[in-house]
């Protein structure tokens, strides 16, 4: 997959069950059609404001724990402060901080309150823009949707930092 035209895609749902069902539909479409997604997660924000990430449909990853590379990329691009709240944030703090600053300066970031308000869920995905029509055809039951171009340099820097940070965390856990 080319990396020149990446898009951050966010579909917000008022009902967690609908978001989960739509996520399964996205995974089914990836397996059976011409739709390639670099990475995707389901994020849930409770009424208390806490955010949980469902990484690749394998279970929730709570704040303060390690988020895997692909999920970390999605979370870091969507909301850099959320990535910093995880253990891997220690390894990528400077990068996620730089991306957060760039988001503020360029107004390219997404507002957490707008796209993941309390009591909602969101499917957050990174994909090439040539697949936008296909993901739109699969994810149809959202309350709100947005897609934004991603700076390739930000993506690659965050990918590298997460990889290096994840290795450090994995080694620390193993010792």
Segment 8-26, tens digit of pLDDT: 888 999 999 999 999 999 9
pTM comes to 0.70
Q: How far apart are CA 133 and CA 112, in angstroms?
A: 24
Q: How far apart are CA 175 and CA 171, in angstroms?
A: 6
3-state class (DSSP) for residue 136: helix
3-state class (DSSP) for residue 28: helix
pLDDT at 39 over 70: yes
Residues 6+ apart with CB under 8 A from 105: none
pLDDT tens-digit profile of 131-175? 999 999 999 999 999 888 877 776 676 666 555 554 444 444 343
Give the angle subtended at the CA of 26 by the CAs of 24 and 32, to the nearest 5°: 100
Q: How far apart are CA 122 and CA 164, in angstroms?
A: 27
């Amino acid at each position: 997959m080319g990396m020149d035209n990446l898009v951050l895609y966010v579909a917000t749902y008022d009902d967690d069950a609908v978001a989960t069902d739509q996520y399964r539909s996205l995974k089914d479409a990836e397996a059976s059609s011409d739709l390639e997604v670099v990475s995707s997660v389901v994020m849930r924000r409770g009424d208390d404001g806490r955010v949980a990430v469902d990484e690749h449909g394998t279970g929730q990853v709570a704040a303060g724990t390690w988020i895997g590379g692909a999920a970390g990329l999605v979370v870091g691009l969507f909301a850099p402060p959320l990535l910093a709240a995880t253990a891997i944030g220690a390894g990528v703090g400077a990068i996620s901080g730089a991306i957060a600053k760039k988001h503020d300066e360029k107004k390219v970031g997404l507002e957490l309150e707008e796209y993941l308000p309390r009591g909602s869920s969101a499917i957050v995905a990174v994909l090439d823009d040539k697949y936008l029509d296909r993901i739109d055809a699969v994810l149809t039951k959202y309350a709100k949707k947005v897609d934004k171009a991603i700076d390739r340099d930000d993506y690659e820097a965050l990918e590298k930092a997460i990889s290096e940070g994840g290795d450090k965390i994995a080694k620390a856990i193993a010792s």
